[in-house]
Structure 1
């Protein structure tokens, strides 16, 4: 199973997780034998987050936070410690063999506001008709 590991220092590493025992491999990469929280911020991806990262004082992971916030379309709560990103299967679990990662732009959200001509950078305003 293909995955990405996002470290608190913003380092991103591609991982090949075993087909059997992927959960324990994710625990190893996160650095815990305790709970690993699975969070859905995008319909095609799962973020695996250290269950006690904030409590035990792990560093804040701003890269994973920015990614999750962009996918959700709003600023989220802080994420602490390393994060593993996997694809998501139809049943909601981690998908094996994921090679295509979701984009940070989703069809349900417009990145610069509600209207096409909002004046966002690189977007022209519509012309007024006489």
Structure 2
């Protein structure tokens, strides 16, 4: 899977038409993590990708997920989104452990597997799927 530059275009891929989206979560991303050689943050990548419904650029380094008010201020993460984050982090940890015993056929297969698990972990009980935005810092 070709990822391209990890930061270029990320904000556009994490956002959508403003009239259709009420953003509930913000990912505070280390804007230079990839260039500094920081490790990929698979849990944050899987979570953000599952929330958006598409595979995003890989994310590197520490990432903080917060809530967002309707006016755009940072706030605590809603309980349902916190549960999503915890579930995807657990799933990511468990999946990585499985890959040590049973390596994936390819990087692309591994990414698809992790994204499928993350999508399951964040599947909304209703049609109220969260949307996110990124803060590159």
TM category (shorter chain) comes to 0.3 to 0.5
Looking at secondary structure, tell me which structure has more strand per residue: 1
TM-score, normalisation: structure 1: 0.46
TM-score, length of structure 2 as denominator length: 0.44
Q: Which of these two proteins has the greater Rg computed from alpha carbons?
A: 1
